[in-house]
Structure 1
Amino acid sequence: MTAAAATSAPPSALKGQLGTYVGLTVVLVGMVALFGTLSEYFLTRETFISIANEIPALAVMAVGMTFVLIIAGIDLSVGSVLALSAAVTAAAILQWKLSVPVAAALGLATGLVCGSVTGAVSVAWRLPSFIVSLGMLEAVRGGAYLVTDSRTQYVGDAISGLAAPWIGGISAAFVVAVVLVAVGQLVLTRTVFGRHVVGIGTNEEAMRLAGIDPRPIRIIVFAATGLLAGLAGLMQSARLEAADPNAGVGIELQVIAAVVIGGTSLMGGRGSVVNTFFGVLIIAVLEAGLAQVGASEPSKRIITGAVIVVAVIIDTLRQRRADRRLA
């Protein structure tokens, strides 16, 4: 396979992408209709505003994770990076007495550095990103505990503007998340960098033979994912008005689930940021609906886990069908 073949989008792929859009829309609308039937309070303005204001952190991390999975990588450290970035921001405001913009910039820089380290280590030593990010998950979480002295840091309304109602009760964080989804989709589908990302996930050796070094691209993808996790930390701190060193525990699984539900292949080479956003909405609606119908916490976890497994099975079957068509 040539580099051009690896990065082009044949008509069959475009049809498949359209089919995925339609399928995800049907699933989302079906879930809304189901929970609307089961709960008289679900189909209300308050429910949808609540869902919209709760998903920005998950959505922005899922944007970065989409690119990571497309290059056939994975980043398990995003939840810990979220916590450390929020902790650094809170420490900068409360302990170091820095201005809010400078503190926010430090939080974002923390995420960028963490993501860059994950990418650089996995590339330099040719280590699986799964192992490197697993180590970063522990190390960065420890850093969050050190910065906060293992206690929740209450920042008050210093950065609450991100979570404040803006348009019809929708927060500025949600608007930022939607903009980042649009930008991510444009970068993936309309830029040379996006074509290189898809090419690396499809056939990295073909990209090398075409004279394209995949190493800096991989590092940039992980660095951007860390930066977005840092932004997610700011969003969550703004909503809670606090930085919790335990924040984001397990959220990396939700992020990966949203990306996979959106149709991004775990094998790399295929994905869509817009579809990932649909995956985020599906998870958010599922959790909100289960909460309103009175499902217990164990039941919610079982159902959510089952949805993830089904999404992976569907992705595997879809990949096998695509391979048979190519053969």
Structure 2
Amino acid sequence: MSLPPTPSPAPSPAAAPRPAVGLRAALHGQMGTYLGLAAVLAGMVVLFSSLSQYFLTFDTFVSIANEIPALTVMAIGMTFVLIIAGIDLSVGSVLALSAAATAAAILQWHWSMPAAAALGLVTGLLCGAITGAVSVAWRLPSFIVSLGMLEAVRGAAYLVTDSRTQYVGDAISGLANPWIGGISAAFVLAVVLVVIGHLVLTRTVFGRYVVGIGTNEEAMRLAGIDPRPISIIVFAATGLLAGLAGLMQSARLEAADPNAGVGVELQVIAAVVIGGTSLMGGRGSVINTFFGVLIIAVLGAGLVQIGASEPSKRIVTGCVIVVAVIIDTLRQRRAGTP
């Protein structure tokens, strides 16, 4: 005669999980990251203010604010891509093609500005969706697929513009026009998108799925969640944001240049990495990415004002990126995160 199983003793209060403590620790760590990046940014402002009497002026900060919207919106998308352990090297070319499509619609086909802008956004969306679909369907590294898209989309931009800059005038300049205190509407829109991106990543089921894919994709499958459509959506959204960046740049320059965005993907990735997003996936923050964009922008503006040459600017920027990655790695190791 078998005896009934002995019930397990109830866990003691000391052994019971304490999610509130873990949540407080996570919030404290996130706040520490915010404060650390803000301190770096403030330190750079103080440094360049001491080296140049023209840096600490309202005009300088307005100029910085009006130059970063395109970089900001692309960095938002890249944050999500890196969190799922992917990468998209084609965003600069997508920017150029989206701007070229908008210019062609206005100048050649005589579309209205809203319709032309919509075409530019859809162009970016399709480019990102193709990159994501090919990567997912054939299980190819997104690095290789997006590298191929970088070349193909750039070639398409040259074809659309006949390899010449297309001047659209003020047809699409509304995004770049001064709005509040000289700040452009594009900057305000970029900040709004940063807030939306942060809320999507931290307050929605989709955001949790994104983090889960980057942390352990196989575990997501075992939990009954198909990561493939989520990954495609992330790449498509990144392409859409690159298309919006193309509109922002065209509005600021009043032209669509087929060479626009060459090398900008490296700046985008640098901003995201400086913000602490892991290149291995599973960890990142849109707010921290925005700090990374500001750090790169302030660094570039400061170096220009103190008369640094272009090679010197590249050396300093590269060193800042490496140091940022080293500091973030040491911080994660100290916190016990692999």
Give TM class, smaller chain.
Answer: over 0.9
* 1:207 aligned residue (200, 220, 223): 220
Query: Number of matched residues?
Result: 317
In structure 2, distance between residues paired with 1:132 and 1:321:
35
* 2:251 aligned residue (227, 234, 238): 238
RMSD of the TM alignment (CA)?
Answer: 1.1
What is aligned with 1:18? 31
What is aligned with 2:44? 31
In structure 2, distance between residues paired with 1:308 and 1:11:
29
What is aligned with 1:280? 293
Post-superposition CA distance 1:206-246 (Å, at most 9, x none): 11111110000000000000000000000000000000000
In structure 1, distance between residues paired with 2:52 and 2:143:
40
State the shift of 1:319 in Å. 4.0
What is aligned with 1:221? 234
Post-superposition CA distance 1:265-298 (Å, at most 9, x none): 1111111100100000000000000000000111
In structure 2, distance between residues paired with 1:80 and 1:289:
27
1:156 aligns with 2:169: yes
1:182 aligns with 2:195: yes
In structure 2, distance between residues paired with 1:145 and 1:308:
32
In structure 1, distance between residues paired with 2:212 and 2:24:
17
1:92 aligns with 2:72: no
In structure 1, distance between residues paired with 2:116 and 2:212:
37
Structure 1 gap ranges (5+): 1-8
In structure 2, distance between residues paired with 1:12 and 1:218:
29
Q: Matched residue of 1:166: which SS?
A: strand
State the shift of 1:326 in Å. 5.9
What is aligned with 1:6? none
In structure 1, distance between residues paired with 2:62 and 2:324:
27
Q: Matched residue of 1:158: which SS?
A: helix
Taking structure 1 as the reference length, the TM-score comes to: 0.95
State the shift of 1:144 in Å. 0.3
The structure whose Rg is larger is: 2
Q: Matched residue of 2:312: which SS?
A: helix
In structure 2, distance between residues paired with 1:57 and 1:121:
26
Taking structure 2 as the reference length, the TM-score comes to: 0.92
Alignment of 1:1-327 (within 5 A): 10-322=23-335, 325=336
In structure 1, distance between residues paired with 2:337 and 2:301:
41
Identity of aligned residues (%): 85
Q: Matched residue of 2:117: which SS?
A: helix
In structure 1, distance between residues paired with 2:337 and 2:297:
36
State the shift of 1:132 in Å. 0.4
Structure 2 gap ranges (5+): 1-21
In structure 2, distance between residues paired with 1:326 and 1:293:
39
